[in-house]
Structure formats: C-alpha cells, structure tokens
Amino acid sequence: KNEVEQSPQNLTAQEGEFITINCSYSVGISALHWLQQHPGGGIVSLFMLSSGKKKHGRLIATINIQEKHSSLHITASHPRDSAVYICAVRWIHDKLIFGTGTRLQVFP
C-alpha cells in the first residue's frame, strides 16, 4: 500500500468544469506539496500546505491534518490546466514521498 494515495488516477473534464483531486496519506508529515508536471516533464510547485487552505488564482488547496487528507481544486478549468498533478508529503529530513499522480485532461 502506498503511503500517499491520490484519486482519481485519470480525469477528463470539459473546459469550465470544477475539478477536485484528492490525496490521502498514512505517515506523519510536516507539510504537503501539490505539484504540477507538464508533458515535457518540468515540475512546478503549486502549493505547500501545513494547515488550512490556500488559494492562487483558480487553484485552491486544502488540508485536514486530523484526517490526513488534502484536496486540490481547479475552478473554471481550461485546456492549459492539462497536466499531471502530484501530491507529495514532506517527511523526516525534508524528504518528499510522492503520490502516483493524477493525469488531468481538459477538453475545449
């Protein structure tokens, strides 16, 4: 069983739809990252959360430490949001444990 699990693994949406990606983890963490990886491979860090909620543009990330669960929401999705979204939890010595990723495709 993975220590960090994401759902769904694959997600398709029509432009404009509201999207939610979930992340559950089983280890004690100091922080959780949401990352975006585009087809070329480059990774961008979207959020780092240790509690509560953060918002950046159309992206919202929430975390519930007690339930060991985080969600990434995309409002008014756009084809350029198509990417793999990865949840990563920060563990001891700042090591990151990665989820398997959610592949999102947004169609016009």
Partner 1 sequence: GAVVSQHPSWVICKSGTSVKIECRSLDFQATTMFWYRQFPKQSLMLMATSNEGSKATYEQGVEKDKFLINHASLTLSTLTVTSAHPEDSSFYICSAGDSYSTDTQYFGPGTRLTVL
Task: Single out the residue of 52, 104, 98, 108 nearest to residue 74, CA to CA.
Answer: 104
Rounded least distance, CB 43 to partner 1, Å: 4
Residues that bind partner 1 (CB under 8 A): 31, 33, 35, 40-45, 48, 86, 88, 93-101
Decide whether 40 or 108 has the Cβ nearer to partner 1.
40
Rounded least distance, CB 101 to partner 1, Å: 6
What's the Cα-to-Cα distance from 79 to each of 8, 17, 22, 82, rounded to whole Å? 18, 11, 20, 6
Name the percent of the chain in helix, strand, coil, to the closest 5: 5, 60, 35
Rounded least distance, CB 18 to partner 1, Å: 25
Longest Cα–Cα distance in the chain:
43
Decide whether 2 or 14 has the Cβ nearer to partner 1.
2
Decide whether 2 or 64 has the Cβ nearer to partner 1.
2
